[in-house]
Every structure is written in C-alpha cells, then in structure tokens.
Amino acid sequence: MEINGHTRICGLIGNPVEHTLSPMIHNTLAGLLGHNLVYVPFLVEEGRVPEAVTGADALHLLGLNVTVPYKSEVIQCLQEIDDLAKNIGAVNTLVKTAGGYKGYNTDMEGLYRAMKSEGIRLEGEQIVLLGAGGAARAVAYLCAVKGAEKVYMLNRTISKVQAVAEEVNRTVGREVILPMITEDYVKLPERKYLAIQGTSVGLAPHTEDVVIADKVFYEKIKTGFDLIYNPWETKFMRLVRQQGGDAYNGLKMLLYQGIIAYELWNDVSVSEEQAQIVYEKLKEHFT
C-alpha cells in the first residue's frame, strides 16, 4: 500500500511486543477492506504508559491495542471506559474520541465469537475453568453474563479463587461461579463438561506442563478450550482428545479480539469470509 498524508495509524502498546501477531491481523484486514491504515507495535517501558497514551492522542492515532502487562494500568489514562471492560477490570483496545481514548475489552467477546465459530455454547452449560488470574477472571465473568448454569473455578490458591467468585457473582447477581481448590477436581459431579484452560501453564517453551495430568479429570470433559495458541496443540488439548473429547486452542480468540478492535476503530463489519482469510494466514505460523 502507499503510505501518504491520509494514512491512519493504529498500533499495540505493551512489553514485550516483538513476537505479536497483531500486525498481521490488522494489516491484512486493511488490505482486504481497502483501508488506508497501517498497524505497528510500540514497546512501552515500565512507568511510561501515561506518556504513551498522551503521545498517541497528540499524534492522532486512530486506536491502540494494549497487551501485558498494561491492561489494567492503562485504565487511569482513559477519557471513558466501556461497561464490560470496567467490570472485567482490564482494557485491551483504545478508540480515539474527541477528548482522548475510550477503553474496551475485546478479548472476551473475541473468545465468545471464537467459541461460537466452533459450535461451542456457554448458555446453560456447566463449565470447568482452570485458573484465577486476570484471564481466568475475565472468562468467569464472560461465562456468567452469557448464561452458563455453573462454573466450577479451580485454582491452587483457594483465597484467590474465592475472591474472584465473590466479585463475579455479586456483579451478575447470582451464584454461578463455584470456587474450588485444584486438587478437588475429583469432587466434580459426574457429568460431561466444557473445560476452559485459563492459565499460562503449557505455554511454549514449557509445552509439557499441564495444570491437571490425571486422566480421570479428562474423562469428564466433552470439549476443551485452551486460551494458549503456542504450541498449536497444548498438552491439555492432547489429554482431552485422548479421552475422546474435542479440543481447541486460542488462535481464533486472538483473531476475533483483533477483528472486534478493527471494527471499533473503523466503524465497519468484517465478514466471516474475510475473518477466515486472516485465520488461514495466522495458522501458517503454527502448522
């Protein structure tokens, strides 16, 4: 594409940003949709997030994505924040407004779209969620607001998972998140579950790590969804499949969170056909 005086700029702030796939998503979308837009990663050093956001505003950047470790810290720099992002306590997308930036969280809607594209539903489901960190907390909130019947949230530290459960249950007004210590997976009622792996355990290069290794646990899973996408097949996914379940990684979540951000920045709708083109391009990195 030709970069000229009309080119709009979007980007990513975080630390590190060197291995991000977001430029592939957004620059491919810009090409497919014929937009004069470029997307670049920006490394932001610790303590300089306010400067980065102020500078982006001064430079009239159309929008920014925010990655670790700044998804919560950036909130103090915003002119406005979407209700979903406020309830989750994390922002990953900034959209330019007249007075600064409005913050959104497209991660969870991205996960929801990814699951829907694979035929996975949350409504009325009984779910096992591994982890109680930032990502798992957001997933717990998503499951609750989308109508899951019960979410058994397993974590090594019971106080941490209890705090998340209390907060989410209070926010949604019903007792849907049930906190458990990880070792108590043996006490899960006998049935088939949707299991969501919401920790960083198993992320490359530690590809043989897994939160729970016992095949008894995996016999209870009909569908496993791992938020990790590197490696392409995590050990969690492999163990689900060995016991006859279906398993998916988090690459489509990455895809759709990016698509939703792009739609917010440009006030457009990306078709499923266009989304599939970007997905196939992303897959080439892992398969």
**Active-site residues: which are they?**
71
- Omega before residue 16 within 30° of 0, cis: yes
CA distance 146 to 123: 6
- Give the helix/strand (H/E) hosting 163: helix 158-172
Cβ–Cβ < 8 Å for 198, 236? no
DSSP track, 114-160 = HHHHTT---TT-EEEEE--SHHHHHHHHHHHHTT-SEEEEEES-HHH
CA distance 238 to 224: 10
Tokens of 121: 């539903």
H helix count then E strand count, the chain: 10, 12
Phi, psi (deg, nearest 5) at residue 220 = -95, 0
CA distance 57 to 51: 10
Listed residue (180, 139, 138) closest to 162, CA to CA: 180
What is the amino acid identity at position 121?
R
